[in-house]
Structure 1
Amino acid sequence: MELTATTIRDELVERCKRGDSPAYQQLYQRYSKAMYNTSLRIVNNSADAEDVLQEAFLDAFRSLHDFHYRSTFGAWLKKIVINKSINTLRKRRAHFVEINEHNEDAVYALAQEETVNEEEMQYQVTEVKRAIQKLPDGYRTVLSLYLLEGYDHEEIAGILSISHNTVRTQYVRAKQKLLSIIKQGGLS
């Protein structure tokens, strides 16, 4: 039995495909805030996030003929935003520590090194966001893509063009660093 997904056509997207100028503005208004926030969580700089947002919408509008409802328009646009955000980080030379097979055990040891009772770390969302902003680019990117954007480690590895082990290591280290920042009260 073959499963098929039925995707509902978005009338606003269809109007844009037909060249309806007001529809472009409405589509931008519908998605711009969420896409800006997605980019900001990755690039950690409002000017860069604004640039990413504008470039992503320009690319999306230019490529609307390539959008065939294999996903929602929002998911398609989000992928463009994330890729552009990653490219912005690459321009800033975000460094990811590569892990090879010989030190793979170190990844697991690292995860076991320091256990923190995360239930004791109940903070408001805005405080945690401020702590995330203090993470280095590589850590913040992996943590944001995994926790906030919902990508799994394999997907993140593909997006960032790094190994699965590197993603796992970056995630573990990012989480530890984030918890350390929170424990030290470095949220102000």
Structure 2
Amino acid sequence: MEAVFVDKHYNLVVECKQGSKKACYELYRLYSKAMLNIAFRIVGNVAEAEDVLQEAFTDAFKRLKDFRQDTTFGLWLKQIVVHRAINLLRKRKLDLVEIEDGHIDSLPAEEPWDDEDIQYKVAQVKEAIKLLPDGYRVVLSLYLLEGYDHEEIGQVMGISENTSRTQFLRAKRKLNEILIQKGITR
């Protein structure tokens, strides 16, 4: 038996499949901001994220007949956005280095954030993430912000699961260094 997910926008998807431009626009309106944020976290550039967004929606609307509701429209679209963003980075010749097992340094335990200035620190962390090299930023974003596991990241990016883990650990270390330089953490 095939799983069918309840999608609160099912009717819009059906109308879109039937050629309703209004329904397509409504789907775009509902999902564009979230998808732009996902694209931006991966590519790190607003203009490129906007391009990824437009291409992803164009792809989605062209392939809507293939959408079979074995997931929600939002998750299906998110996959398209992530793949488009990763492909853009590949065009930029994203450089990830394979690491042999056992060469990962252990990281110090993280301390909880002080609640007094959490908003300030969140903004500083977002700015620091933008300073990470592409490979680090992408793996960190996919893992922490998008909820992908290392196996999925490896498949999406065409790298090994171990390389994803290594890039994630290095990204955390580099992010910590940036935050220390900015005086955000000790």
Q: TM-score, normalised by structure 2?
A: 0.90
**How many Å apart are 1:85 and its aligned residue?**
0.2
* 1:152 corresponds to 2:145: no
Within a 5 Å distance, the mapping from 1:127-142 to structure 2 comes to 127-142=124-139
Does structure 2 conserve the Cα–Cα contact (< 8 Å) formed by 1:128 and 1:182?
Answer: yes
Which residue pairs with 1:168 in the alignment? 165
CA distance in 2, matches of 1:186, 1:162: 34
- Name the % identity: 53
**How many Å apart are 1:120 and its aligned residue?**
5.1
- In the alignment of these two chains, the number of paired residues is 178
Change (3 A) 1:120 1:75: closer
Which residue pairs with 1:119 in the alignment? 112
**How many Å apart are 1:117 and its aligned residue?**
3.6
Which residue pairs with 1:185 in the alignment? 182
Does structure 2 conserve the Cα–Cα contact (< 8 Å) formed by 1:131 and 1:186?
Answer: no
- The runs of 5 or more residues in structure 1 that have no matched partner are none
Change (3 A) 1:63 1:11: same
CA distance in 1, matches of 2:32, 2:159: 29
Within a 5 Å distance, the mapping from 1:1-188 to structure 2 comes to 5-8=3-6, 10-99=10-99, 103-107=100-104, 110=105, 112=106, 114-119=107-112, 123=118, 124-185=121-182
Runs of 4+ in structure 1 deviating by more than 4 angstroms, as ranges, are 120-123
When the two chains are superposed, the root-mean-square deviation of aligned CA atoms in Å is 1.7
Q: Deviations over 1:130-176 (max 9, x none)?
A: 11000000000000000000000000000001011111110000000
CA distance in 1, matches of 2:157, 2:83: 9
